[in-house]
Amino acid sequence: MQHFGDALIGRVRALGNPVCIGLDPYLDRIPPLFRDGDMSPGNPLTAPAVEAFLKAVLDRADGRVAVVKPQIAFFERMGWRGLRALDEVSAHARKRGMLVLLDAKRGDIGSTADAYAGAYLTADAPMPADAMTLNPYLGRDTLQPYLNAAKDTGRGLFILVKTSNPGSGDYQDLKVGNRSLAETVADSLKAMSGELEGPETGWSSLGIVVGATYPGEAERIREILPKTIFLVPGYGAQGATAADAVKGFVKGPSGLEGGIVSSSRGVLYPAGSDTDSAAAWEQAMDAAIDMAVSELGGAISA
Q: Mask 218-257, x = binds ligand OMP (CB under 6 A)?
A: ---------------x--xxx-------------------
Among 89, 104, 209, 288, binds ligand OMP (CB under 6 A): 209
Between 117 and 268, whose beta carbon lies closer to ligand OMP?
A: 268
Which residue from 256, 140, 150, 251 is spatially nearest to 197, judged by alpha carbons?
Answer: 150
Among 41, 110, 252, 266, binds ligand OMP (CB under 6 A): 266
Among 16, 140, 265, 291, binds ligand OMP (CB under 6 A): 265
d(CA 61, CA 80): 27
Which residue from 65, 68, 67, 31 is spatially nearest to 50, judged by alpha carbons?
Answer: 31
Q: Mask 172-201, x = binds ligand OMP (CB under 6 A)?
A: ------------------------------
Backbone φ, ψ for residue 50 (5° rounding): -65, -40
Q: Is 190 a catalytic residue?
A: no
Which residue from 294, 159, 300, 129 is spatially nearest to 229, judged by alpha carbons?
Answer: 159
Between 200 and 241, whose beta carbon lies closer to ligand OMP?
A: 241
Q: Which of 55, 69, 95, 105 is catalytic?
A: 105
d(CA 206, CA 191): 10
On the 0-12 / 13-18 / 19+ scale of CB atoms within 10 A, 175 is exposed
79: Cβ–Cβ under 8 A, 6 or more apart, which residues? 41, 42, 47
Nearest distance, CB of residue 243 and ligand OMP, angstroms = 17
Q: Which positions touch ligand OMP (CB under 6 A)?
A: 22, 24, 69, 71, 103, 133, 163-165, 209, 211, 233, 236-238, 262-266
